[in-house]
Amino acid sequence: MKKKVGVIGAGIIGLYVASELKKKSFDVTVFEKQSIEKVGKKSCSTLVSKRIFDFIQIDDDLIENTIKRCLIKFKKKEVVLEFNPEHIVINRERFVLRMIKNAEFNIIFESNRTDFSEFDYVIGADGASSFLRHKLNLKNPGYRVGLKVESNVKDSNDTVKTFKTKNGFTWIIPKGNYTEYGVLEKKENIKDEWKKFNKKGSNLSFALVPQGLVLASSDKYAIVGDATGLTKPWSGGGIIWQLYEAKMLIENFPNFKKYNKEVRKFFLWKIIKGRISNKLIHFVGNHFSFLIPSYIKYDNDFPNFFKSLLNSKRKKPSS
C-alpha cells in the first residue's frame, strides 16, 4: 500500500514538495488553512533568480518583469550589482493558483487539522510561524518584518533599487504595470523606517521574514521552507534556497536525519558567511565606500566574494 504523506501548507514550497512526492508515488494530501481565494495573497515580492526554472515550470504569462541588476545606494556611493543569473519578478498570486490548478494531489483548504496520526509522514511547509514547529517544541528562528505597497506607476526598467536601513533595507521593484515599494526591518524599527522611506501606494501588506535554521529531528515529521527559517541573510529572499532545501528533502525522503544533515552541511556556513559579509559590506559601503567597486557581477543566491571582486570594475560600464 502507498505510504500516506500529509503536507501542511500550500505555499510555493509545500506545493512543490507535494508534487515531487506524488511523482515518487506517495499518497499525498495538502492541508491549507486559508481559503483558495486567499492562499496566493501572502506578502511577497517574488523576485527570484532564473534558477527557479531548474525546479518549477513558470509560464510566460506569470512573469511581470526581468531584472538584470540591483542598485545599492550607500551614503556617498551607488554600487551596481549585475545579477548573474538574471532575475524575474513573478505574479505570486497567479503562480500559486497555477500550481494548485496543476496539482495531481488532494488539497484541503480552510483546514484547521491538528491531528496527523493517520499519516505515515508529515511535512510542515506551513510558513514562518509554523504550527508543526510549535507542536514539535522546536525553537523559533529570528524574525524581521517585510512590508510593501504597490503604486500605479508603470515601470519596466530592469533595475531594482535598494537603500540600507538600520537592520535591513528598503526596495523599489519595477514590476511592469506597477512599482513595488517595500522595507525589510526588525519589528521595533519597521514603523520608523517606513515613515522615512515615505512611499505611498495601495495593497499594503506585510509578513514575517524568518532568519535562521531550525530542523525537526524525528522519523515521522520534517519541516521545510519558511518553517525552518532558511532565508538569505542579506535579502530575506527565501524561495530559491528553500527549493534547494525541498529538493534535499525529496531526494532523501523519508530519511529525515539524512535530509537534516545535508541541509546543515550545505547551508550553515553560507548563513554565517552571509551574515558576516552583509554587515561588513554595509559598514565599508557607508564609511569607506572608495574601497568598493562601482560595478560587481554578482550571484545573488550563492555569492562568491572573490569571484565577484574579480568580475568587478572601479567604474560603471557606460551601457
Asked if residue 49 binds ligand FAD (CB under 6 A), the reply is no
Q: Fill in the per-residue mask, 147 to 166: x = in contact with ligand FAD (CB under 6 A), - = not in contact.
A: -x------------------
Q: Which is nearer to ligand FAD, 80 or 148 (CB)?
A: 148
Interface with ligand FAD (CB under 6 A), residue from 5, 13, 138, 263: 13
Please answer whether residues 30 and 5 qualify as being in contact, where contact means their C-beta atoms are separated by less than 8 angstroms: no
* Contact positions with ligand FAD (CB under 6 A) in 114-133: 125-127, 131
In the complex, what is the shortest distance from the CB of residue 300 to ligand FAD, in angstroms, rounded to a whole number? 10
Nearest CA among 174, 178, 150 for reference residue 47: 174
Asked if residue 172 binds ligand FAD (CB under 6 A), the reply is no
Reply yes or no: is the peptide bond before residue 174 cis, omega within 30 of 0: no
Nearest CA among 225, 228, 213, 241 for reference residue 300: 241
For residue 211, give the 3-state DSSP assignment: strand
Interface with ligand FAD (CB under 6 A), residue from 5, 12, 107, 263: 12
Interface with ligand FAD (CB under 6 A), residue from 56, 107, 121, 146: 146
Q: Which is nearer to ligand FAD, 33 or 98 (CB)?
A: 33
Interface with ligand FAD (CB under 6 A), residue from 64, 82, 226, 245: 226
Please answer whether residues 47 and 237 qualify as being in contact, where contact means their C-beta atoms are separated by less than 8 angstroms: yes
In the complex, what is the shortest distance from the CB of residue 87 to ligand FAD, in angstroms, rounded to a whole number? 9
Residues contacting residue 212 through CB under 8 Å, at least 6 positions apart: 141, 142, 229, 230, 271
Asked if residue 10 binds ligand FAD (CB under 6 A), the reply is yes
Quote the CA–CA distance of 190 and 188 in Å, as a whole number.
6
Q: Which is nearer to ligand FAD, 29 or 312 (CB)?
A: 29
Q: Fill in the per-residue mask, 236 to 275: x = in contact with ligand FAD (CB under 6 A), - = not in contact.
A: xxxxx-x---------------------------------
Q: Is 143 exposed, middle or buried (0-12, 13-18, 19+ CB in 10 A)?
A: middle
Please answer whether residues 118 and 108 qualify as being in contact, where contact means their C-beta atoms are separated by less than 8 angstroms: no
DSSP 286: H
DSSP 155: B
Interface with ligand FAD (CB under 6 A), residue from 111, 157, 177, 308: 111
Q: Which is nearer to ligand FAD, 56 or 240 (CB)?
A: 240
Q: Which is nearer to ligand FAD, 26 or 116 (CB)?
A: 116
Quote the CA–CA distance of 29 and 32 in Å, as a whole number.
10
Interface with ligand FAD (CB under 6 A), residue from 225, 229, 233, 274: 225
DSSP 2: P
Please answer whether residues 227 and 125 qualify as being in contact, where contact means their C-beta atoms are separated by less than 8 angstroms: yes
Quote the CA–CA distance of 225 and 319 in Å, as a whole number.
38
Binding region for ligand FAD (CB under 6 A): 8-14, 31-34, 39, 42-48, 111, 125-127, 131, 146, 148, 182, 207, 209, 225-226, 231, 236-240, 242
